[in-house]
């Protein structure tokens, strides 16, 4: 068990390789409940892999990944299922299920993982969809949604089980600045109103500056900077400094 009960996610000396390519090398960091961490770095530096390790969609080669006091490395499927209920995941392209309507996308986890009645499920879905500005779109299929709407829908699905920790993979990619700011606003509201810990992979430095309590910069599989925006902007590492200031 992790000693500190306020820790949301902690990486301890995590390494991960794909064949000969090392994606993460000896990475350690932690983020507390109610905080927002933005992961920055050039493409292919292991940011999305970090999220997948937290969700245990991948296993690290070595090291420990703690999620709310549970080490998910080596866990069985049943235990993982319990841990995953504490997590929400907004995928890069939303990853909505094509064959299901937006309503069905959201009702899938609710009907399987909770004991809510049909009416209660309807209420939750209506509320969450309204929160993300899609109150009138529940009957639509993902193919009928725009890019921004898909992101919102993906966020709604990630939030429908009221997770303690929300993972977001490039929530603003492919969106105009206004829509991206709206998505950031939704994430911030989640953090402030529900105390949800946010771990966001992003290339949007403006968004990161707006949302993040902590910034982590990954480069060539190494964590080259970690701290507040001010601390990272004064980092000795050139890549980290350039990423946050330019």
Partner 1 sequence: MRWLSRLFEFVGKVGLFSLRVLIASVKPPFEFAQFCRQLAEVGNRSLALLIVSGFALGAVMTLHTRSTLVTFGATAMIPAVQAVSFFVEIGPLVAGLLLAGRVGSGIGAVLANMRASEQIDAIESLSVDSFKFLVVPRVLACTIALPFLTLFMDFAGLLGGFLSEELSSHIAPALYLNRAFDYLQWSNFIAPTLKTAVFGFIIGSVSAYFGYTTDKGAQGVGEAATNSVVVSSLLIIVADVLLIKCIFFLFPDTAI
Chain residues that interact with partner 1, rule: CB under 8 A: 52, 55, 57, 77, 80-82, 84-85, 87, 89, 91-93, 95-98, 108-109, 112-113, 157, 161
Q: Decide whether 170 or 182 has the Cβ nearer to partner 1.
A: 170
Q: How far is the CB of 67 from partner 1 (least distance, A)?
A: 12
Q: How far is the CB of 12 from partner 1 (least distance, A)?
A: 22
Q: Decide whether 109 or 227 has the Cβ nearer to partner 1.
A: 109
Residue recorded with tokens 């890549």: 239
Provide the b/e sequence for 197-210 (b: ≥16 CB within 10 Å).
bbbbbbebbebbeb
Q: How far is the CB of 227 from partner 1 (least distance, A)?
A: 29
Q: How far is the CB of 55 from partner 1 (least distance, A)?
A: 5
Order across the sheet with 70-71: list the strands: 21-32, 7-18, 62-67, 70-71
Q: How far is the CB of 134 from partner 1 (least distance, A)?
A: 17
Q: How far is the CB of 93 from partner 1 (least distance, A)?
A: 6
d(CA 228, CA 64): 24
Q: Decide whether 82 or 144 has the Cβ nearer to partner 1.
A: 82
Question: CA triplet 154, 148, 107: central angle to 5 degrees?
Answer: 25
Q: Decide whether 107 or 222 has the Cβ nearer to partner 1.
A: 107
Q: Decide whether 94 or 224 has the Cβ nearer to partner 1.
A: 94
Q: Which of 181, 151, 147, 194 is nearest to 169 (CA)?
A: 151
Q: How far is the CB of 236 from partner 1 (least distance, A)?
A: 36
Q: Decide whether 109 or 133 has the Cβ nearer to partner 1.
A: 109
* Cβ 219 vs Cβ 55: under 8 Å: no
Q: Decide whether 97 or 238 has the Cβ nearer to partner 1.
A: 97
């Amino acid at each position: 068990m992790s000693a500190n009960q306020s820790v949301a996610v902690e990486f301890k000396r995590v390494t991960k390789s794909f064949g000969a390519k090392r994606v993460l090398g000896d990475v350690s960091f932690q983020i507390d409940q109610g905080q927002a961490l933005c992961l920055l770095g050039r493409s292919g530096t292991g940011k999305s892999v970090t999220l997948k390790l937290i969700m245990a969609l991948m296993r690290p080669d070595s090291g420990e990944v703690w999620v709310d006091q549970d080490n998910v490395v080596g866990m069985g499927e049943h235990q993982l299922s319990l841990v995953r209920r504490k997590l929400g995941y907004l995928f890069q392209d939303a990853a909505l299920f094509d064959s299901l309507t937006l309503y069905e996308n959201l009702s899938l986890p609710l009907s399987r993982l909770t004991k809510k009645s049909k009416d209660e499920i309807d209420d939750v879905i209506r509320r969450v969809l309204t929160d993300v500005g899609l109150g009138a779109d529940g009957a639509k299929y993902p193919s009928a949604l725009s890019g921004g709407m898909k992101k919102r829908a993906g966020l709604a699905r990630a939030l429908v089980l009221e997770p303690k920790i929300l993972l977001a993979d490039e929530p603003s990619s492919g969106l105009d600045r206004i829509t991206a700011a709206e998505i950031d606003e939704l994430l911030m509201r989640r953090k402030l109103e529900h105390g949800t810990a946010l771990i966001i992979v992003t290339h949007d430095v403006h968004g990161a500056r707006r949302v993040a309590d902590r910034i982590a910069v990954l480069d060539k599989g190494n964590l080259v900077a970690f701290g507040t925006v001010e601390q990272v902007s004064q980092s000795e590492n050139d890549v980290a400094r350039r990423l946050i200031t330019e």
